[in-house]
Structure 1
């Protein structure tokens, strides 16, 4: 998963999308292209006919990172299949005809984006999931409506680029959420560890900035751990001598598991751990990992898996997602990547319905950018698309904690699994916001196909 996560858009990475960092670095160095393709901005009705809409995607289906990105297409397919089974949108079937593979390579990403725009003439690109979205500027300049994982800077500020949960990212701004967590567990001294690559370091710089902003002392930090981590016992010894009772890690899940093992062996079994990678029921269910993950906190940007059974009326989008995956993708395990595909497709269809039967690309983009409290039917905190290409005044996230073989929601507010924070406040202790319009669990608005 990638260090440029969108789980906390305004303060660093969150619990999602941590890509193996040294792989990312090598891909970025080896695959860059300086070519300046000629892309037309005309074609507002490309891929559009009286009875269908032709759609493409670009994701990492092959290469070293497939597990983190390829399932996005499963979610897109399940959503489109459900819509098509109900007659499509204004009588048009959604044809996901060009789900392309960039092999996790920036130069191939550019080539495939060119194909989507100039050769296949798709109406929209739905389901972008790649560590190096090098073709983003081509889609932005061609004004092609684009939907997917916003884990790269190229999603902002273009009005036709729609990342799941918003398109703006800032990885070094103070991460309020981690400071809030430290306060909740009564930690006053923290340790922070990261790999020696920019994606990991940037994530943890936001963590450090957030802790310091709200008065949590960072008594130990190591942002230079070689990847992959082999032995963290020396770091653990220094964490122990520093007196830290809280540790935040911006490593991948294998590094985090090693950290937890060394903390237990080093005499710190009860230190509070916050990982930016590892929210995966399959990983937690592995008996080797369960004890090492027990008690660890994670931050996610969507409603947690499980709300479809514990509170289905408040989070109907999750119920619809699981039902559609079981029906249309029965051999696929629901995952965060698949959920991103589902939410990408939902926003696209929500925009199509709002734009009307005589839709064009421009009308679709304009319709979505009028949405002020989009939640994908309870899957997301409210997204205000009038401003979410360039920033926001608040941030809403969900904390979960590994307890045995389950992830349990923590610190929700106002009947919701989400906790919202002002990005402009320095108040200590941190006081979560109340009354956020459209907050799932209170009211639901925006999106969601009917099952």
Structure 2
């Protein structure tokens, strides 16, 4: 029997209803993932006193472009959008909301700074957005995974770095009297707490400690104050320009203690800029290859960094090829790519978190030989091996074997 007009309309309505029902049955698309692209976001300081740290993101971006040129990850190219926060937590929050809600990124990757990551962590976990490989060694990012399951750290924990300095001081300094300059926030307090832990019953060897606010303009007056304690050991737990000012202050007041400077403040590009009389003999840790270190002048990983930066870097300067911040970014990006591969072709946010907590990465070319990036669902400190290094003749010189800084 021929269909009437009403029959045709009814049939169309039924078909449309079936189509809608079928569409409703399909899982929602994962934000930031298409058949051709994976979109990652980050918030970093590209301006202000911590702008040097923003080079970590630039290094990561160059590595992602290198991977994209080789076909990407399962045919998907990585798009990396990183925004300037000037090292201001409030701006980091605004950037993150924009990246998640407007840009629809798949995950946040390697956002820099302890306070900035603390400021965005609750929002990202509420939204079930991965906060991957945080560019901060604050212990909370590896420890508090029960409360914040979408967050995972990356670099060695500051508390264990501080502990290592305390143990080394006890073993190699006769009658130490220790002064500490520290950033008065979770970052600096983590290092200070670790130092106390390493000193144990000898923590009374800390004869003076002075904190500074991250918004301070100059810490040289604090150095003069610490000198008055007559300490023979100084721990600089600072960041960016404040570390440089601390060394300038040492030179200015003619104070020559044995200096321990935390990893984040020990970039060769910074150390070269300070008075060498004050810098020589300083001790720090390393976990990534420093392209300015003579030991790695012909290293394959450093050569790879230089090749990638030459082809995919931005605003390239000759000094870039000696800048460890770029290498650090590539090291984190290498781990990010490995994580995406481990997550598989059917990429989801849950899947990438599962991959990020089941890592056993060996041979990352940008990390020191022998370092393994290892995680489990209940152990979220990816990097827990370091070497000590000493500054002399305008370069860092690693010494000793790899040391575990795995939290107890």
Q: TM-score, normalised by structure 1?
A: 0.69
Identify the residue that residue 140 of structure 1 maps to in structure 2: 125
Match of 1:54 in 2: 39
For the structure 1 residues 89 and 207, does the alpha-carbon distance in structure 2 shift closer, same or farther, using more than 3 Å as the test?
A: closer
- The 3 A distance-change label for structure 1 pair 401 and 419 is same
The CA deviation string for residues 380-436 of structure 1, in whole angstroms up to 9 with x for no partner, is 6323210575569x94222221111111112x22xxxx3225655xxxxxxxxxxxx
Q: 3-state DSSP class of the match of 1:175?
A: helix
Q: Does 1:119 align with 2:102?
A: yes
Point out which structure has higher relative CO (alpha carbons under 8 A, 6+ apart).
1
- Mapped partners of 1:298, 1:309: distance in 2: 16
1:398–1:225 Cα change, 3 Å: same
Identify if the C-alpha distance between structure 1 residues 55 and 224 changes in structure 2 by more than 3 Å, giving closer, same or farther: closer
Tell me: CA distance 1:207–1:236, structure 2 relative to 1, closer, same or farther (3 Å): farther
Q: Is 1:185 aligned with 2:163?
A: no
Q: Secondary structure at the match of 2:288?
A: coil
**3-state secondary structure, aligned to 2:100:** helix
Q: Deviations over 1:316-368 (max 9, x none)?
A: 54443232112211605153443343233222211221222222222222123
Tell me how far apart the structure 2 counterparts of residues 192 and 388 of structure 1 sit (CA, whole Å): 36
1:369 aligns with 2:357: yes
RMSD after superposition = 3.4
Assess if the C-alpha contact under 8 Å between 2:390 and 2:397 holds in 1. yes
Give 1:81-230 correspondences, 5 Å limit: 81-96=65-80, 98-130=81-113, 131-133=115-117, 134-147=119-132, 148-151=134-137, 153=140, 156-157=144-145, 158-165=148-155, 169=157, 171=159, 175-183=162-170, 185-195=172-182, 197-199=184-186, 202-203=189-190, 205-213=192-200, 215=202, 218=205, 220-223=207-210, 228-230=218-220
Question: Does the 8 Å CA contact 2:33/2:106 hold for their aligned counterparts?
Answer: yes
Cross-structure match for 1:4: none
Say whether the 8 Å CA contact 1:187–1:216 is kept in structure 2. no
The aligned residue for residue 3 of structure 1 is none
Map 1:11-410 to 2 at 5 A. 45-62=30-47, 64-96=48-80, 98-130=81-113, 131-133=115-117, 134-147=119-132, 148-151=134-137, 153=140, 156-157=144-145, 158-165=148-155, 169=157, 171=159, 175-183=162-170, 185-195=172-182, 197-199=184-186, 202-203=189-190, 205-213=192-200, 215=202, 218=205, 220-223=207-210, 228-231=218-221, 232-233=223-224, 235-239=226-230, 244-251=231-238, 252-261=242-251, 265=254, 269=256, 271-276=257-262, 278-286=265-273, 289-306=275-292, 310=296, 316-329=300-313, 331-332=316-317, 333=320, 335-373=323-361, 376-377=364-365, 379=367, 381-386=371-376, 395-410=384-399
Q: Is the CA contact (8 Å cut-off) linking 1:179 and 1:214 kept in structure 2?
A: no
Tell me, what secondary structure is at the counterpart of 1:91? Answer: coil
Any unmatched runs of 5+ in structure 1? 1-41, 425-451
Compare the two structures and name the one with the higher helix fraction: 2
* CA distance in structure 2 between the aligned counterparts of 1:65 and 1:322, rounded to whole angstroms: 26
Contact 1:312 1:319 (C-alpha < 8 Å) held by counterparts = yes
> What SS class does the counterpart of residue 229 from structure 2 fall into?
helix
Measured in 2, the distance between the counterparts of 1:294 and 1:190 equals 19
Q: Which residue in 2 is equivalent to 1:32?
A: none
Q: Which has the larger radius of gyration?
A: 2
The 1-side partners of 2:280 and 2:60 are apart by 33
The offset of 1:230, in angstroms, is 3.6
Which residue of the partner structure matches residue 37 of structure 1?
none
When normalised by structure 2's length, the TM-score is 0.75
Deviation at 1:279, TM superposition (A): 1.5
- Number of equivalent positions: 361
The one-character-per-residue Cα deviations of 1:120-153 (angstroms, maximum 9, x if unpaired) are: 2122223412452312222223232333402554
SS at match of 2:192: helix
- 2:18 maps to what in 1? none
Structure 1 residues 257-300: Cα deviation after superposition (integer angstroms, max 9, x where no partner): 1453256x35xx4x4221226422223333x6222211111223
